[in-house]
Amino acid sequence: MYCEAAPGPRLSAFVERLCFSSDDAPGAPPAVRVVPDGAVDLLFSAAAAGGACSAELFGLKTRALLVATPDSRDNVLLRLRPGAVARLFGVAAHELTDRALPLRELVGAPADAWRERVAGARSPAERRAVLERELGGWCARRARAEDAEHALAERAAAALRRSSGARRIAALAESLGVGERRLERVFRARIGVTPKRFAAILRFAAAYRALAAGAGPLAAALAHGYFDQAHLNRDFRRLAGAPPRRIFPSPR
């Protein structure tokens, strides 16, 4: 089971969407390849049979992760808005890049109460209500902490996302009225990587989605700013850990 929902008003300043999934088959589910996509995620994962619930923050990724769980889980993933992690948890985003950190290390004891209440919820609607109430209070207290650097990083990230990473960084900085060095410093602290690296991740993610939808490697490469298929293959090895033909094998 998989479904998505928009966040309610208490979460929406920091959360783009909520994604709910459940493992229906008995036993351990297969490992999942999670590739870089320019996002920071907060994951609550409860044992489907009842019991423990984990809560982890996954910083922005520059390489693929293979995620495996020992049993069936009920999951709710909160996809954070660009720059939200620094405001929510008071930590520079680059300190979390390529890391998975227990939420308790960032917020302390409240994480235990949130995990317990998410574990006790019995449906996506109940989990959404729990997070809106519990985590939403934390968000509301931090919504007042917006500053000029956050606004700059948010605008820059939005522009790069609209172009799927194709926007030139020099032109972007000029359009925002700042120098490239300042943009790079703010972006790294608030988003987690430099604007150039973020753009490369977005370009890769767009090509990855095209391949997943059935496009051929050469067509995906040329449509998303790669010089050729070899260029695309290099990015896939670096960011996904394997070339496209291994991730998306051709039908026989």
Alpha-carbon distance values, 220 to 165, 223, 250 (Å)? 14, 5, 14
Average pLDDT, the chain: 92
- Write down the domain spans for the chain: 2-144, 148-242
Higher pLDDT, 17 or 29: 17
pLDDT in tens, 26-48: 667 778 889 999 999 999 999 87
* pLDDT band, very low/low/confident/very high, at 142 (cuts 50, 70, 90): confident
pLDDT at 251 exceeding the cut of 80: no
Contacts of 180 (CB under 8 A, 6+ apart): 169, 170, 173
The CA–CA distances, whole Å, from 118 to 31, 77, 148 equal: 23, 12, 34
Per-residue confidence (pLDDT) for residue 25, from 0 to 100: 66
Mean pLDDT to the nearest integer, 139-166 = 90
Residue bearing the bigger pLDDT, 228 or 143: 228
Higher pLDDT, 212 or 52: 212
- Place 252 in a pLDDT band, splitting at 50, 70 and 90: very low
Fold topology of 148-242: Arc Repressor Mutant, subunit A (1.10.10)
* Residue whose token pair is 């308790």: 104
User: Is 160 or 140 the better-scoring residue by pLDDT?
Assistant: 160
Q: Lay out the sheet containing 53-58: strands in order across.
A: 2-5, 15-22, 73-80, 41-47, 53-58, 100-102
Cβ atoms of 5 and 20 within 8 Å: the answer is yes
2-5/15-22 β-pairing: antiparallel
| Tokens representing residue 129 in the block | 């209500």
Whole-prediction pTM: 0.92
Cite the DSSP H helix spans in the chain. Answer: 84-89, 104-107, 110-120, 124-142, 148-162, 169-176, 180-190, 195-212, 217-223, 229-239, 244-247
When mean pLDDT is compared across 25-34, 186-195, 206-215, 233-242, the lowest value belongs to 25-34
pLDDT at 23: 78
pLDDT in the model for residue 67:
83
**Residue 20 confidence class, pLDDT cut points 50, 70, 90:** very high
pLDDT of residue 147: 83
Longest dimension (CA), the chain: 56
DSSP structure string for 149-162? HHHHHHHHHHHHHH
